[in-house]
Amino acid sequence: MQGSAPPAPAAAEPAPSGVAESIAPSTWFGLRRSAVMELLLFLGGGGIADNKTFGNTGYWDIAPHPYWLIVLLISIQYGTSEGLIAALACSAVLLFGHLPEQAFGEDLYGYLLDIARRPLMWLVSAVVLGELRVRQIRERTRLSNELAASRRRAQSIAEAYERLDEVKRELEVRVAGQLRTVVSMYEAAKAVETMEPARVVMGALDNLRAIMNPEKCSMFVLREGELQAGIQNGWGRKDRYKRRFAPDSSLYAEVVGRRRVLCVIDPEDEQLLAGQGVLAGAVTNPDTGEVYGMLKIEDMGFLDLNLSSIELFRVLCEWVGAFYANAVQYREGQSNRAIDSASQLYAANFYPRQRALLVALARRVKFPLCALHVQIDDPYALSRDQRTTVAASLAQSVLAALRNTDLAFQQGKSGGEFTVLLGNTPLENTGLVVERLHQAFQAALPEELAATKISITAEDLMVKQEQSSTAPSPSPPRSAGT
């Protein structure tokens, strides 16, 4: 029909969303604004059409009545309240000024029933259809709320899963980092647990990096009455850290003199460090208190510097000091040993005394005495591991080629030099021993090092001794006469 407005969309129904928020419809006195506007427009258009076309009769004689359309549409679309308002408004428009005349012979009750029939039908239809619509809206609202709640739960589960997955990844990284730390600490501990003081110094920084993860660190050794930089890690060309600390410096006095651990957190220690580092501590022997050097951290992460790391640094200084003390004691003990632990030959420091003893005995008993000097040709053309293998093979060949009366001595620190004292062997008879040494050495070498050669030099110690004994002795100084 002309003037009828199309039904508006169901604005009252909440749109399901992941946040479960519904847009509240605008209302006038509890009624939907869109329903009121549609009703007014329809009634206004219907009144104009009635006035111009039907002579302002209120469509009384038209069946079905046009106002059924708006009552049904609003009731179906918006529910009971708006449907009742539409039915009442249509009833008021229908009855105001459009009442038909009572027919002749029609009683009053029949006339009133005929007038009230349409408004009553509109009201009943509005209630029935409106309640059906309200129930549908409620059901849809409930489903929408459940859907929104389900989406919220799903979103919460997804977020919880993401957080759990992130925590799992962090734990995996942490476990992997701890595993790497344990492995690195084990490797660093092996480097420290050595009997060479120089390797202890190098292993100290490995332990420091594995345990405290500093960006820049260094190890100072106490030498010639001052702290001298032994090894550094992370220092750049632009860094201006001192490499020596004299006894008159405040850092030397605090670390070496008072055996303190200086930390930049303390304002007094910050002045003592003077920009030379974050942490500094003395490497001491925990048993005797003797100071061997200083561990110093020049730079490290802000979060890595805490009370536990300071105490850990203190323990690490004592740990390195204990291993350094053991290495120094071991080196001092090795300097007085008679047998070299690596080659199982006589030690180099034992050679001068044995040589002097045998030379004196040979002069008294009158037997020849020679020495063979054995060494590897160009040892530094080989790698460190290859030099170790060749030195072991040479030591093995020396032991295999010697007689019961021969004495072999380790010479030098590389392990590739030996001296053999041949008792009661003249110089012209040393060729047999030299040949046996060459054959034993070639048999002991691995195939990949078969090209390695050795040099053997023979020396007659008795001739050298006789030349030195027959040399003219200087005349005694004369004293001035009186």
pTM passes above 0.75: no
Residues of the chain with CATH 3.30.70.270: 348-469
Counting other chains too, the contacts that 39-43 makes at CB distance below 8 Å and 24 or more residues apart are 39/70, 39/74, 39/82, 39/85, 39/86, 39/89, 41/3, 41/5, 42/3, 42/4, 42/5, 42/69, 42/70, 43/70, 43/89, 43/90, 43/93
Counting other chains too, the contacts that 158-162 makes at CB distance below 8 Å and 24 or more residues apart are none
User: What does each C-alpha distance from 82 to 22, 33, 124 come to in angstroms?
Assistant: 20, 10, 13
Residues of the chain with CATH 3.30.450.40: 197-234+241-335
- pLDDT score, position 20: 38
Q: What does the pLDDT average to over 401-419? A: 74
pLDDT over threshold 70, residue 149:
yes
Convert 21-48 into a string of H (helix), E (strand) and C (coil).
CCCCCCEECCEEHHHHHHHHHHHHHHHH
Write the Ramachandran bin of 51: left for phi over 0, alpha for psi from -120 to 50, otherwise beta. alpha
CATH code assigned to 348-469 = 3.30.70.270
pLDDT over threshold 90, residue 155:
yes
DSSP state of 427: G
Q: Tell me the two tokens of residue 482.
A: 């009186």
Whether residue 197 is preceded by a cis peptide bond, meaning omega within 30 degrees of 0, is no
Percent of the chain with pLDDT over 70: 81
pLDDT over threshold 70, residue 194:
no
- pLDDT score, position 2: 35
Q: Tell me the two tokens of residue 175.
A: 């476990």
Task: Lowest mean pLDDT of 203-207, 285-289, 295-299, name the range.
Answer: 203-207
Which class in CATH covers the domain with range 197-234+241-335?
alpha beta
User: Which candidate, 241, 248, 254, 318, places its Cα nearest to that of 287?
Assistant: 318
Residues 6+ apart with CB under 8 A from 152: 18, 19, 20
CA 67 to chain centre: 78
Q: Is 294 helix (H, G, I), strand (E, B) or coil?
A: strand
Q: What does the pLDDT average to over 41-65? A: 81
How far the first Cα of the chain sits from its last, in Å, is 165
Q: What does the pLDDT average to over 447-460? A: 82
Mean pLDDT of the chain: 78
Task: Provide the β-strand partners of residue 281.
Answer: 295
Q: Tell me the two tokens of residue 386.
A: 């290859």
pLDDT over threshold 50, residue 147:
yes
Percent of the chain with pLDDT over 90: 11
**Residues 203/205/209/214 CA torsion (nearest 10 deg):** 180
Q: Give residue-wise pLDDT tens across range 85-118.
A: 888 888 888 888 777 777 777 777 777 887 888 8
Q: Tell me the two tokens of residue 264.
A: 């930049």
